[in-house]
Amino acid sequence: MKPLDRLTVFAHETWTKPVGRAGAYLLIAASVIALGGFIVTHTFLAHVPLLGSLANDFYANLSTELLSIAITVLIIDTLVERRQNADKKAELIRDLGSKTNDFAQRAARELRARGWHRDGSLRGAWLEEANLTSAILSGADLTDAVLVGTNLTDVDLEGANLMDVRMWRANLTDARLADANLTNVDLRKANLKNTKLMNVDLSDAKLMNVNLSGAILVKTDLMNAFLEGANLTNAILVEVNFTSACYNNDTKWPEG
């Protein structure tokens, strides 16, 4: 975001809050008094009886005091808001890891609405055995997160960053992972039945004993992936890169 855009957002958010408006009013008052005092003391008005002496005595001190109060109010308000956002973010991430799907779904929606799903807040998140069935987390940054045993049935993770994520025994049946980054992901014994894996980077992924039956792999990168014991029965494989991938006699391939 450009500096001007950040300033515009800050001004809008400040004005929409009562405390922020109070600080803004004080800032405006300080500016008006300072400007008025300057005009009085630097023009013919300085020679007007009482007005000139009043301006000399009060305008500088009063405008400075008001300015100091306004800045203090705005700083305190900003710090309070940041703390509230941090607490809310932590609460939503906890709910995202819930075994109750309603809680997890609601948390996913609010994280997405606030843009917190893609700003790095979910990196390293502990979501073990969470129930994220049908959640929409497209574009999410879940780098290094823990999703061991997590229910991700029918989840939307298109364009998500899942690099280094631990997902062994996770259920990704019917999940949508197009354009996702799954480099070095650990999917041992995971269920990816009917999962859509178009334009996905699975290089160096651990896919031992994974169920990929019926999955759609189009332009999928499986370079250096570990496929020992993987089940790719009925999977659709189009332009898949298996360079240096590891497999054994227990690996099951599509017919033909």
CATH of the domain at 148: 2.160.20.80
List, in sequence order, every residue forming a beta bridge with 226; answer none if it has no partner.
Answer: 206, 246
How confident is residue 10, by pLDDT bands cut at 50, 70 and 90?
very low
Same-domain pairing of 139 and 86: no
Same-domain pairing of 199 and 72: no
- Average pLDDT (42-67) is 56
Residue of 97, 105, 83, 84 lying closest to 142 (CA atoms): 97
- Tell me what pLDDT residue 68 has: 72
Query: What three-state secondary structure class fits 141?
Result: strand
Domain holding 243, by residue range, is 100-256
Is residue 12 scored above 90 in pLDDT?
Answer: no
For the segment 167-214, what is each residue's pLDDT rounded down to a tens digit? Answer: 999 999 999 999 999 999 999 999 999 999 999 999 999 999 999 999
Is residue 3 scored above 60 in pLDDT?
Answer: no
Is residue 72 scored above 90 in pLDDT?
Answer: no
What percentage of the chain reaches a pLDDT higher than 90?
Answer: 65
Same-domain pairing of 89 and 106: no
Which is more confident, 14 or 208? 208
- Tell me what pLDDT residue 84 has: 75
Same-domain pairing of 192 and 240: yes
Number of domains in the chain: 2
Rounded CA separation 82/89 (Å): 10
Rounded CA separation 157/164 (Å): 15
Same-domain pairing of 21 and 125: no
How confident is residue 4, by pLDDT bands cut at 50, 70 and 90?
very low
How confident is residue 114, by pLDDT bands cut at 50, 70 and 90?
very high
Is residue 256 scored above 90 in pLDDT?
Answer: no
The most confident of the ranges 18-27, 44-53, 120-129 is 120-129
Rounded CA separation 103/94 (Å): 9
Same-domain pairing of 165 and 150: yes
Rounded CA separation 63/37 (Å): 9
Same-domain pairing of 125 and 212: yes
Q: Which of 93, 123, 154 is the last residue of a domain?
A: 93
Dihedral-angle region of residue 159 (phi above 0 means left; psi in -120 to 50 means alpha; beta otherwise):
left
Is residue 11 scored above 60 in pLDDT?
Answer: no
The predicted model scores a pTM of 0.71
Q: Of 5-9, 31-35, 128-132, which gets the smallest average pLDDT?
A: 5-9
Dihedral angle computed from the Cα positions of residues 162, 164, 169 and 175, in that order, rounded to the nearest 10 degrees: 10
- Tell me what pLDDT residue 86 has: 85
Residue 179, token pair as written in the block: 């354009």
| Chain-centre distance for alpha carbon 154 | 21
